[in-house]
Chains A and B, each alone.
Chain A
């Protein structure tokens, strides 16, 4: 199962240094400092928030399957080890593309818009003005109404260019034929009913959750292609979908002040926040902004020393690294780790 592969990959990257539940929070895209930092520290960007509604039992089932197959050992404390069989399995993984970090569930917002617009155009072609909208969410409906007004859809000239755009982007995106089919199966219109998850699951002999995971991956790949090609109508639908400013609200404010030239002490004073919090923000900035220069805080030699230590001791545990490199502060070690290679 795809979910098992993804879980194994996450557990491997977490390097036995977190409990099982860290993976659960990651998949659900929990917006806590810990989870966000884990994303950067363990380079888990692809999987952040790809299953926002993942139920705990489904997650637990996946973990149990890994344990049953001897790929994973879980201790009572919740800590775990990827077994040697697990490491062998890692080489065989076939996980499709994800960019959870930048889409964060917004891919569903895009698809909700698209499905309502396609449905409207479909009924327009069929000559029906009224139909049961496939999206009941008022916000989505309002957005689509605006889009259709702006594009003068009443002239019935939207169908042709949108068809061209969808065909071209779907064909060029890195997608399997199955994924393209999946995307179209989830659209509906006049005389064309959508296909339910259970139905695809039976047809393809795949668990429902895997179908959903393939769908999410398809949306991420497709959105990337739309970003590259920038076709007129699809770009309008996706303009605000990708999260460009990935920092949390508070970290963003700190980052703004830092860019304006204030020191960490000044920011701490201005924002009435503890120094440790401001340091958290800077670490978050370093993790998420590849061009951020950490030299002001960490010398190149020290950065290399941290990276060497992680290799030698096979760990990213701060406590261990601090013991090995006592002349560096936790803050400096974290910054160096943030810059670490994948």
Chain B
């Protein structure tokens, strides 16, 4: 019985939606695509099989931070046979790990690492029980996180018979799912798509004529209503600005973005998890790997670049199943900035010419990176495609990618501007139908924000103890 195994290894009594079906089909040896939002037990889908099957599980994860997160979590649960095979390992360490690879239960690695001849060779000799492609949408050029190296996973000659492949992704549209099946060479995979609708999260939008009005509204709103909540902004500068304004009003807020040092990011995360913060003001860098159950509000100060991002960020509210609210603030013209953010990292036509020029004149194209003429993602995409296709074809491809991003922003804008039920439209975007129509489920259905929020309790302050007391508390626990 799978349930007893679940209890034995993880201490849970029941599976979350989808987990049992996914695990059963994997145990039968079938490939599987699972669309599960983060925080909904994605990792259990391969962790439990790891204990039930005889050979190691290989997890390919494109984001280093995410990989480290999962390794840490497994270690936290007491699993010792877990390793992250990444670029942080020294030459010696890597060789050690490679020669003992079959001793591990869970092996995490990145697509880049997998393509190193030494690693690839070792992997192709190994017998695995399961291969997992985490964040599988990165394999699709239509995805917002395209990783060219992910495409090459298809080139690996797995030891026969090939073990089942599990592709995990939080959100993906039809064309992305198609790419995943094709590039991972999946064989008639079982598909599980979670119910996109999260009925406990009410969807609201507030429209403004001027951008400045958004901030005024936001500050009034957070002064009056209760968190904990997340405000998503599109730039680091905005995060700093808004969080400072909140702090000036005596609201316990903190900003979080990729420009902060690693310690700051962890401090703020811990404060948020411990319930010390009312609000986190963040870029989309915040959220992955953060499991906080009682987030009551998610506010988008800036328009997301696509519906998938919106969905993922909204989904961080109300994980405890209790009522939560997502509010999107829109001011006329916000789509221009969303468009800018969405295409910022994409290589442009002139980058193609520049790249070709460097090659032709015998120079290193990496100079473009050093001179900060192109983003890292952009360079990765560009150099991958220029190895595959002639420059003219790459240019066409880039134009198409640009158009696709445009379309995504357009779809997001349409979702905001249209007058039908937002929930219904959102669910339809992911190819599903709304099972149950509720009353005031969104602004378009007559939801009033005030009805759903608790009043903010005054007098919350950051309480930092005197340093001696703090030192004692750190080493000897609470007094």
Chain A bound to chain B: yes
Question: Does A203 belong to the interface (CB within 8 Å)?
Answer: yes
The answer to whether B467 and A184 touch across the interface, beta carbons within 8 angstroms, is yes
Q: How far is the CB of B49 from the nearest CB of chain A, in Å?
A: 22
Contact A129 B466, CB 8 Å, known A163-B475, A194-B270: no
Q: How many residues of A contact B (CB 8 A)?
A: 42
Q: Which of A136, A187, A192, A196 contacts B264 (CB 8 A)?
A: A196
Contact A136 B262, CB 8 Å, known A181-B467, A184-B470, A194-B267: yes
Closest to B467 in A: A184
Closest to B75 in A: A130
CA distance A185 to B476 in the complex (A): 17
Interface window among A119-127, A230-238, A305-313: A119-127
Q: Which of A131, A194, A195 contacts B76 (CB 8 A)?
A: A131
Contact residues of A between 198 and 214, Cβ < 8 Å to B: 198-199, 202-203
Q: How far is the CB of B74 from the nearest CB of chain A, in Å?
A: 9
The answer to whether B274 and A183 touch across the interface, beta carbons within 8 angstroms, is no
Question: Does B288 belong to the interface (CB within 8 Å)?
Answer: no
Question: Does B474 belong to the interface (CB within 8 Å)?
Answer: yes
Please indicate the chain B residues that have their CB under 8 angstroms from the CB of A122 in the complex.
474-475, 477
Q: How far is the CB of B372 from the nearest CB of chain A, in Å?
A: 12
Question: Does A46 belong to the interface (CB within 8 Å)?
Answer: no
CA distance A130 to B71 in the complex (A): 12
Q: Which of B78, B271, B468, B474 has the most CB of A within 10 A?
A: B474
Please indicate the chain B residues that have their CB under 8 angstroms from the CB of A130 in the complex.
72, 75-78
Please indicate the chain A residues that have their CB under 8 angstroms from the CB of B270 in the complex.
188, 193-194
Interface range for B? 35 or more
The answer to whether B478 and A118 touch across the interface, beta carbons within 8 angstroms, is no
Main DSSP-derived SS at the B contact region: helix
Q: How far is the CB of A78 from the nearest CB of chain B, in Å?
A: 22
Q: How far is the CB of A218 from the nearest CB of chain B, in Å?
A: 11
Please indicate the chain A residues that have their CB under 8 angstroms from the CB of B477 in the complex.
122, 125-126, 190-191
Interface window among B240-248, B404-412, B432-440: B240-248
The answer to whether A187 and B474 touch across the interface, beta carbons within 8 angstroms, is yes
The answer to whether B264 and A163 touch across the interface, beta carbons within 8 angstroms, is no
Please indicate the chain B residues that have their CB under 8 angstroms from the CB of A177 in the complex.
467
Our count of residue pairs bridging A and B at CB distance below 8 angstroms stands at 106
The answer to whether A193 and B267 touch across the interface, beta carbons within 8 angstroms, is yes
Question: Does B276 belong to the interface (CB within 8 Å)?
Answer: yes
Please indicate the chain B residues that have their CB under 8 angstroms from the CB of A129 in the complex.
78
CA distance A183 to B472 in the complex (A): 14
The answer to whether A188 and B267 touch across the interface, beta carbons within 8 angstroms, is yes
Question: Does B266 belong to the interface (CB within 8 Å)?
Answer: yes
CA distance A132 to B261 in the complex (A): 16
The answer to whether A163 and B476 touch across the interface, beta carbons within 8 angstroms, is yes
Main DSSP-derived SS at the A contact region: helix
Please indicate the chain B residues that have their CB under 8 angstroms from the CB of A184 in the complex.
467, 470-471, 474
Question: Does A67 belong to the interface (CB within 8 Å)?
Answer: no
The answer to whether B475 and A183 touch across the interface, beta carbons within 8 angstroms, is no
Question: Does B263 belong to the interface (CB within 8 Å)?
Answer: yes
The answer to whether A197 and B264 touch across the interface, beta carbons within 8 angstroms, is yes
Question: Does A241 belong to the interface (CB within 8 Å)?
Answer: no
Question: Does A115 belong to the interface (CB within 8 Å)?
Answer: yes
The answer to whether A134 and B464 touch across the interface, beta carbons within 8 angstroms, is no
The answer to whether B68 and A199 touch across the interface, beta carbons within 8 angstroms, is no
The answer to whether B478 and A196 touch across the interface, beta carbons within 8 angstroms, is no
Please indicate the chain B residues that have their CB under 8 angstroms from the CB of A170 in the complex.
467
Q: How far is the CB of A342 from the nearest CB of chain B, in Å?
A: 34
Closest to B466 in A: A181
The answer to whether A193 and B271 touch across the interface, beta carbons within 8 angstroms, is yes
Question: Does A295 belong to the interface (CB within 8 Å)?
Answer: no
Question: Does B341 belong to the interface (CB within 8 Å)?
Answer: no
The answer to whether B260 and A196 touch across the interface, beta carbons within 8 angstroms, is yes
Q: Which of B260, B276, B462, B467 contacts A180 (CB 8 A)?
A: B467
The answer to whether A194 and B472 touch across the interface, beta carbons within 8 angstroms, is no
The answer to whether B255 and A134 touch across the interface, beta carbons within 8 angstroms, is no
The answer to whether A202 and B72 touch across the interface, beta carbons within 8 angstroms, is no
Question: Does B473 belong to the interface (CB within 8 Å)?
Answer: yes
Contact residues of A between 80 and 113, Cβ < 8 Å to B: none
The answer to whether B243 and A183 touch across the interface, beta carbons within 8 angstroms, is no
Q: How far is the CB of B268 from the nearest CB of chain A, in Å?
A: 5
Question: Does A74 belong to the interface (CB within 8 Å)?
Answer: no
Q: How far is the CB of B89 from the nearest CB of chain A, in Å?
A: 8
CA distance A202 to B271 in the complex (A): 16
Q: Which of A132, A163, A188 contacts B471 (CB 8 A)?
A: A163
The answer to whether B467 and A118 touch across the interface, beta carbons within 8 angstroms, is no
The answer to whether A199 and B471 touch across the interface, beta carbons within 8 angstroms, is no
Question: Does A133 belong to the interface (CB within 8 Å)?
Answer: yes
Please indicate the chain B residues that have their CB under 8 angstroms from the CB of A269 in the complex.
none
Q: Which of A189, A199, A202 has the most CB of B within 10 A?
A: A199
Contact residues of A between 148 and 170, Cβ < 8 Å to B: 159, 162-163, 166-167, 170
Please give the residue numbers on chain B whose beta carbons come within 8 Å of chain A beta carbons, in ascending order: 68, 72, 75-78, 88-89, 240, 243-244, 247, 254-255, 260-264, 266-268, 270-271, 274, 276, 462, 464, 466-468, 470-478
The 9 tightest CB contacts between A and B, nearest first, are: A130-B76, A194-B267, A193-B270, A184-B467, A193-B271, A196-B264, A159-B475, A189-B474, A184-B470
A-B pairs with beta carbons under 8 Å apart, 16 shown: A122-B475, A138-B88, A159-B476, A162-B475, A163-B475, A167-B468, A180-B467, A181-B467, A184-B474, A185-B464, A185-B470, A186-B263, A192-B470, A194-B266, A198-B255, A203-B464
Extra pairs beyond A133-B72, A163-B475, A185-B467 (15, CB < 8 Å): A115-B263, A129-B78, A132-B72, A132-B266, A134-B266, A167-B468, A180-B467, A184-B474, A185-B470, A188-B266, A191-B478, A193-B274, A195-B267, A196-B268, A202-B244
